Each structure stands twice: as structure tokens, then as C-alpha cells.
Structure 1
Amino acid sequence: MKTQRIHIIQTPAIIWGAPSEKVYLYIHGQGGYKEEAEAFAGIACRHSCQVLGIDLPGHGERKTEAGSFVPWNVVPELLSVMNYIRLHWPHVSLCANSIGAWFSLLGLESRWLEECLMVSPVPDMERLILNMMAQADVSEERLKREQVIRTSFGQTLSWEYLTYTRTHPVTRWEAPTYILYGGADNLIERSAVDRFTRQFNCSLTVLEHGGHWFHTEEQLDFLYHWMETCLQNG
């Protein structure tokens, strides 16, 4: 596949595929990077689409940007990226993973998107944070008092982050959306995915024994087949 490395203001990006009027913006999850979009690009390019993958703050080429992977930094950046995309492609779609899907729900105007694929999305960040607080035995009173608490399971709890999720609920999403969810996901509750699917009339596919991260050969085969089907239908 043809590739081109660019910067969109401060955001490193890669474009895969021959010139086309159609593009998918690929948003990775926590710990991800722009190069992981290559597998999806291998599918999308067969459907005459280009794919643009980016490094979110604190990831990929931007690992030195400590503490920057927060919505009040990511959301304005996604808006800038989308403004660039809309200047260069008339037909824009989205493929987003995990927390990258939540950032997309907050930072992208869904009316600009022709199709959206979400893999293991975080549809309700407040619920996820409250679940992590319960797991760490941290009350809201303590979190408000201490502001930041590092947990034994590697996540950092932040009062500012929790407050942000409550003041920025996802109340509107218009893009035709396909969701892939692992039935054994121990991070995102099935009820939250079902509720989001009903609220915004999404198409939901469940791999019952799949986890939050699709990584085994069987899971990846299922993921790529699902992606191929979504693009064929779209």
C-alpha cells in the first residue's frame, strides 16, 4: 500500500492508500499508535478508501507528552484533525478503538461522518471510572479530597477527569455506527454497550468469548471479517 507521513499541526499521521475521495480516520485506544491502523487499511484500501491514522497525545511519536492523554487535550485536537480531513476528502468515515471511541464521541461532529466502526468502545466513561473506584475502594469524597489517586492495578483516578465526564455527556450521535464487543470484556459492561446501541440505533456484533482487546488469532480473524463486512455493507 502507498503510505504518506504527515503532521496535522502537532499531530503525527500516516495516510494509507491510493488517492481517493473516501477516507477513514483511525483513532487508537490507550497504549496504541498510528501504525496499528495498517491492518484496517489493508481492508479499507480494497474498497477504494484511504485510511488516516494519528498518534494521540502521549502515544506513538508523542510518548514524551506525559499527562496529556486527557479529553480536554484530545478533543480539541480531534476537531483540528477533522477540519484538515474535511478540506481534503469529501467522504469521511471513522474507525475507533476503546477510549479512542469515547474521545471521538466527544470530539467529532457525527453529521460529518458517513459510517463509523467502533471496536470495544467506551460508551459511558463515568460508569467505567466509578467501577474502577469501587475496585480500588476509593470513595468520591476521598477522590475529591486527594484529587489524584494511583491504583494498585495501574490506573490513575482523577477528580478532574470524573467531573469532566459528568459535564460532557454524550447526548447526540447521528452517524450510522457498527459496534464490535467482546462478551468477556472485563472493562466495559455489556449493559452500557446495549444502552448506547439502543439510544443511537447502532448495529451491535458480539464475540461472546472475546475480551476488551482482540489479540488472539481467532479474535483477530473475527475482527477483520467484521471490518470487511461493515465496509461491504457501507
Structure 2
Amino acid sequence: MNLNKIRVNGIPVLIWGESSDRIIIAAHGSHSSKLDDCMWVLADEAIKHGYQVLSFDLPQHGERVYETDFLTPDECVRELMLMYGYAKEHAQRISLFGCSMGAYFQLLTFPEIDIERAWFLSPITDMKRIIHNLMGYCHITEEEFKKMVKVENDIEPLYYPYYQYVRKHPITNWPHETYILRGETDTLSEYSYVKHFSDCFGCELTEQKGGEHWFHTEPELDFFRLWIRDRL
């Protein structure tokens, strides 16, 4: 597989495959990177179908783990637009692949932009729900959260400006052809919320029986490979 490491506006980027008129912009999940296992599987299958794949490290991830104090949605939206600008310079048709929070940031970024199709793995379709769940886990009220600004815990830090952005930017529009895969036992990408999103926007939703949020075991990745292969 041809794999080129470049930088786009200083951001570490991997370009998988040969030049093509079709590029997939791939966004990883939390505690992951542009080299996640699912990126390898995606690229391996997508290249066979004539795609090139662009993956990059979000702030606080991969090569950028020490770059900033906290990841914020507006910064991720800005960087996804930088990736889109690069992709448009090199290809005619742009598609998306998003995993977990990476899918959420793509939902924020591309509702009104020309996208051919999207594939989401364990997507977070309602970030406010995730934050409310974490607030409950930390036993804090919204007023307490506002005063504390940042709340450390053993799952994922909470940051009040992040929460404010999420509240002000609900996902109300998604017109693109979209395919979603989630694990049956995923407690982050909850079934009722993903199903509601799928029903609202006409997405195809597939579940892997016994699968979890993080697709990393051999059976999970094999299932993902067959799923993405049939939908490219």
C-alpha cells in the first residue's frame, strides 16, 4: 500500500493509496490516531475500489498529544475544513469516514457541503447525551459544571466551553447518503440515539452482534472489513 506522510497547515496527515478523483476524509475517535486499526482496514478496502484516503491527527491525539490543553469542537471543525480544502484541490468527489467522536465532528462540519457519501463506525450522534451521562457519572449539576469549568474523571475530562458549543450546535441536518455500523453492546453510541438519527436522515444502520464501541478485536475488525467492503 502506498502511504505518504505530509502536513496540511502543519497538521500531520497520512495519504493512503495512489492519486484518485475520489478521496475519503477519515476522522478517528477519542484516544486514537490517524493510524488506528480501523483506518488500516478502511484504506485497504477503499484503495481496491479506486479511492484515496486522507487521515489526520486531531488535537491532543497521535503526533499532537502534547499540542494543546483541550480538544474543542470548533477547532476540529476548522481542521476538517482544512482537510476538505486539501481534498478538493486533489479530487473531484469527497466522501467521509468517521469513528466515534470523529463522526460527530464531521456531522458538525459537513451538513451543507457537497459530500458523496459517508460511513460511520460507532458514531456519536448526540454529544449532549454523552456529556450529560458523564455529568451524572461525576455527580455534578450543570451549575456546578459551569463553575468548575473543567472536571477530571477516569473516563473523559469534561470542559464547559465544549459543552456550550455542543448545546449551541445541535445536529439538525444531514442530507448525505450514510452507512452506520455500531456494536450491539456499545454503551456510548447508544442504540436509541443512533436509531433516531438514522431514521431522521435516512441512514442505513447495521449492528454487529456482541460488538462494543471500540472495534479492535479480530472478529470486530473482520466484521467491519466485510461491512465496509460491501458499501464502498
For normalisation by structure 1, the TM-score amounts to 0.94
SS in 2 for 1:56: coil
Cα deviation, residue 90, structure 1: 0.2
Task: Within 5 Å, give how 1:11-160 maps onto structure 2.
Answer: 11-36=11-36, 37-109=39-111, 111-151=113-153, 153-160=154-161
Identity %: 37
Cα deviation, residue 67, structure 1: 2.2
1:34/1:60 contact within 8 Å kept: yes
2:100/2:189 contact within 8 Å kept: no
Distance in 1, matches of 2:90 and 2:19, equals: 10
Cα deviation, residue 110, structure 1: 5.1
1:111/1:174 contact within 8 Å kept: no
Distance in 1, matches of 2:192 and 2:111, equals: 25
1:12-63, Cα deviation, whole Å (9 max, x unpaired):
1111112211111111111111122222111001101111111111111111
For normalisation by structure 2, the TM-score amounts to 0.95
Q: How many residues align?
A: 230
2:23/2:94 contact within 8 Å kept: yes
Runs of 4+ in 1 over 3 A off after TM superposition: none
Amino acid at match of 1:195: H
Cα deviation, residue 118, structure 1: 0.2
Distance in 1, matches of 2:9 and 2:77, equals: 14
Amino acid at match of 1:101: A
2:103/2:124 contact within 8 Å kept: yes
Distance in 1, matches of 2:82 and 2:179, equals: 24
Give unmatched runs, 5+ long, in structure 2: none
Cα deviation, residue 123, structure 1: 0.2
Amino acid at match of 1:176: E
2:182/2:189 contact within 8 Å kept: no
Cα deviation, residue 109, structure 1: 4.4
Distance in 2, matches of 1:20 and 1:140, equals: 48
The answer to whether structure 1 residue 200 and structure 2 residue 201 are counterparts is yes
C-alpha RMSD of the superposition = 1.3
Give unmatched runs, 5+ long, in structure 1: none
